[in-house]
Structure 1
Amino acid sequence: MDKLTSMNVFARVAKAGSFAGAAKELDISRAMATKHIMQLESQLNTRLFNRTTRSISLTEAGAEYLERCLQVLLDVEEMESAVTKLQTEPRGLLKICAPPVIGATHIAPGLTQYLKNYPDLSVEMILKGGQVDLIDEGVDIAIYLGQLNDTSLVARKLASSSLVVCASADYLNLHGTPQDPEDLENHSCLINWAIPPRDKWRFKGILGDRTVTVTGRMQANMADPVRNAAVNGLGLIMLPRYIVGRDIELGRLQVVMEQYAISPLAIYAVYPHRKYLSAKVRSFLDFIQGWLPHRIGMDAP
C-alpha cells in the first residue's frame, strides 16, 4: 500500500473518530480503512489508536504521528498545487535561446507585451548563433533557422523567410555581377554558417536545382559580421530578407541573380518534450507564432 494514502486514511480516521466515518468520506470500505491503519502500525511498530467496541482514541504516539502527518499532507498538497499551477498558469522563469538578429530585433520587442500579460512570469533570453543543447543548457524553447538535425526534439514551424544574394555596388562594380550560380565560384562569398548548410548555396532555375560550394574572405556564426562586411564591399552574402531588407531599401546592398529561386529559410520553435508542456511554454509558443510572421513580413507556416 502507498504510505501517503495510508497517512491520509489515518488522519481522516482520527478526525472522524471512527473507521466507518473515515471510510465513508474516502469512499472506501471500512475493512480497507482498517487495513491501512494496521499497516501503518506494523511499519511503525507502535499502536496509533486505542480501540474499544464503541470508540477509538489516539494513543500518545498516535497524537504525535498525527501532527507530523498533517504537516506532510499539507506540504504535499501545496507542492501539487504549485506544480499544477505551472501547468495551468504561465509563471516562473522561461528560458529562451534565439539567433542574435531575429532575437534582438524581432522577438525581444514582443516580449514586453508578452510579459505584461503574465505578471508571474519572467524571461531569460540567450542570443546565440547556431543550435544549442536544450537539456544541458536548461533552455525551455529555442528558435532554430533552417534544417533541423536533432530528431529527438519537438519542433513547431513558425514561419519562413525568403533568402536573397546581394552585395554592395562597390563590390559589383569592381568584380562584376554574377549571372549564374556557377559564377559564384569566382567571387568572394561571405558565409553565415549559423544557417545550414555551411558553405553550400542552393538555387532553383529552369534547368533544375543547382548547388554551389562557395568560399570567401570571411565567415561567422551570425549574420551581422558578414552583413557589415558585404555593405563595406568585401563580397556577396546570402541572408534572409528580414536581415538585409533595410540595406536593400537604402541602396547599401543590391540583389543579384533574382531569376533564380532560393528555397525559403524555415524558422522553428524547438523544445525538448511534447507531453505535459508547461503553461509558460504553451503560452509563448502561441504568442511567438502570432507575433513573428507579422513582425517581419514573413510567410506564416
Structure 2
Amino acid sequence: MDTIDGMRTFVAVASQKSFTGGAGQLGISTKLASKYVRQLEEHLGAQLFNRTTRSVSLTDTGTAYLERCLPLLDQFDELEGLVQERQSELAGPIRITAPTGFGSRELVNALRPFQMAHPNVSVDLHLSDQHVAVIEGGFDLAIRFGAMKDSSLMARKMMDMRMVVIASPDYLAEHGEPKHPSALETHNCLIQLTSADPYNWKFRINGNVASFPVDGPFHANSPRAIAHMASGGTGIGMCPHYSVKPFLEAGTLQILFEKEEATEITLNAVYPPGRHLTARIRALISHLAETFKG
C-alpha cells in the first residue's frame, strides 16, 4: 500500500463519515477505500475508526492522526505543485463546490479554457444550492455569492454581480408595470429564499437606499427557478443578473427599476486557511478572477 494513498483515503472517509462517501469523493470503489484504510491501520498498529453497520466515527487516535494528516498532505501537494510549476505543467485534482445555477453554466464556461490549457488537471465539480462545508467536504475551492458566513475561510473576490428586478412582458401587459418600488406590495412577487433579506427589496431613491416589502405564493432557493417562473408570466422577481441573462436575450424577461438598483452581491473564491495552495489551485483562482473581471 502507498502510505499517501492510505492517508488520502483516511481523510476522505473521515470528512464524509462514510466509506461510501469517502470513496465517492476520491473516485474509487468502497471496497478499495476500506482496503486502504485497513492497510493503513495495520501499518500504524492502531484503530483509526469505530465501525458499526450504520456509522463510521473516529477513535481518539484517529482524531489525533487526522490533525497531523491534513498539513502533511497539504505539504505533499505543495511539493508536487512546486515541481509541476518548475516544469511549467499543471497536473492533479481540484475539487470545487458551487451553486447549481451559476456553476452549471457560467462557471463551466470559465473552466473550459482552463482545462483545455491544462489537460492534466482534473476538475471534480460539485453543484449544490445548499451551503456546503469546504473543509469537512474535502473541497479545495468553493465559488460563492454573498457575504462570507465562515470567518475561518480565506476568500478572493471575483466580481460584483447586479441584483435585478425582472418580469415578463406578458405579466406586465396583464397586471401593469409598477412605476415605483412601493407599488411592488400590490404585485405577486417571487421570493428567492437565499437572498440576504428575501421579503424586503432595496432600491436607491433620491440618493438614499430604502427597503420595500414584497411577498407572493412562490418561494425557491434557486435564482434560476425564480427566473424561469417569472419568464412564464407568474410574477416579478429579483435575481442575480447571470441567472436572467438568457431570458433577457430571448426577450422573455425585462428589467424593471434599473436606475433605482441598489443591491450587488459579491462572488468569491473561498478556500481553507493555512493551506499552501498548490500551483494548479493558484492558477485556477487567478484564471477565474481574470475571466469574471471581464
Shorter-chain TM range is 0.5 to 0.7
2: CA distance, partners of 1:275 / 1:99 = 23
How do residues 216-295 of structure 1 correspond to structure 2 at under 5 angstroms? 216-294=216-294
**Superimposed CA distance per residue, residues 15-66 of structure 1 (whole angstroms, 9 cap, x where no aligned partner):** xxxxxxxxxxxxxxxxxxxxxxxxxxxxxxxxxxxxxxxxxxxxxxxxxxxx
- State whether residues 162 and 265 of structure 1, in contact with CA within 8 Å, keep that contact through their aligned partners in structure 2: yes
Question: Letter of the aligned partner of 1:102 in structure 2?
Answer: F
With over 3 angstroms needed to count, the CA separation of the structure-2 counterparts of 1:101 and 1:119, relative to structure 1, is same
Which stretch shows the higher mean deviation, 175-184 or 226-235? 175-184
TM-superposed deviation, 1:209: 1.1
TM-score by length of 2: 0.67
- State whether residues 223 and 240 of structure 2, in contact with CA within 8 Å, keep that contact through their aligned partners in structure 1: no
TM-superposed deviation, 1:125: 0.4
1: CA distance, partners of 2:82 / 2:130 = 30
Question: Letter of the aligned partner of 1:129 in structure 2?
Answer: D
Partner of 1:137: 137
Partner of 1:9: none
Partner of 1:84: 79
Partner of 2:167: 167
Query: What is the aligned residue count?
Result: 216
2: CA distance, partners of 1:238 / 1:159 = 19
Does residue 124 (structure 1) correspond to residue 124 (structure 2)? The answer is yes
Runs of 5+ unmatched residues, structure 1: 1-78, 295-301
Question: Letter of the aligned partner of 2:81 in structure 1?
Answer: L
1: CA distance, partners of 2:211 / 2:162 = 17
Partner of 2:37: none
2: CA distance, partners of 1:279 / 1:199 = 43
Tell me the SS of whatever aligns to 1:84: helix
TM-score by length of 1: 0.65
Partner of 1:4: none
- State whether residues 205 and 261 of structure 1, in contact with CA within 8 Å, keep that contact through their aligned partners in structure 2: no
**Superimposed CA distance per residue, residues 84-133 of structure 1 (whole angstroms, 9 cap, x where no aligned partner):** 11355343221111112221111212323212333432110011124321
Question: Letter of the aligned partner of 1:85 in structure 2?
Answer: E
Question: Letter of the aligned partner of 1:175 in structure 2?
Answer: H
Tell me the SS of whatever aligns to 1:137: coil
Question: Letter of the aligned partner of 2:79 in structure 1?
Answer: T
Does residue 113 (structure 1) correspond to residue 113 (structure 2)? The answer is yes
Tell me the SS of whatever aligns to 1:136: coil
- State whether residues 191 and 220 of structure 2, in contact with CA within 8 Å, keep that contact through their aligned partners in structure 1: yes
Runs of 5+ unmatched residues, structure 2: 1-73, 85-89
**Superimposed CA distance per residue, residues 159-204 of structure 1 (whole angstroms, 9 cap, x where no aligned partner):** 1122211111221222222222222222221122233333332111
Tell me the SS of whatever aligns to 2:210: strand
- State whether residues 94 and 140 of structure 1, in contact with CA within 8 Å, keep that contact through their aligned partners in structure 2: yes
Question: Letter of the aligned partner of 1:283 in structure 2?
Answer: A
2: CA distance, partners of 1:84 / 1:260 = 51
Question: Letter of the aligned partner of 2:292 in structure 1?
Answer: L
Which one has a bigger Cα radius of gyration? 1
2: CA distance, partners of 1:197 / 1:80 = 41
2: CA distance, partners of 1:283 / 1:264 = 27
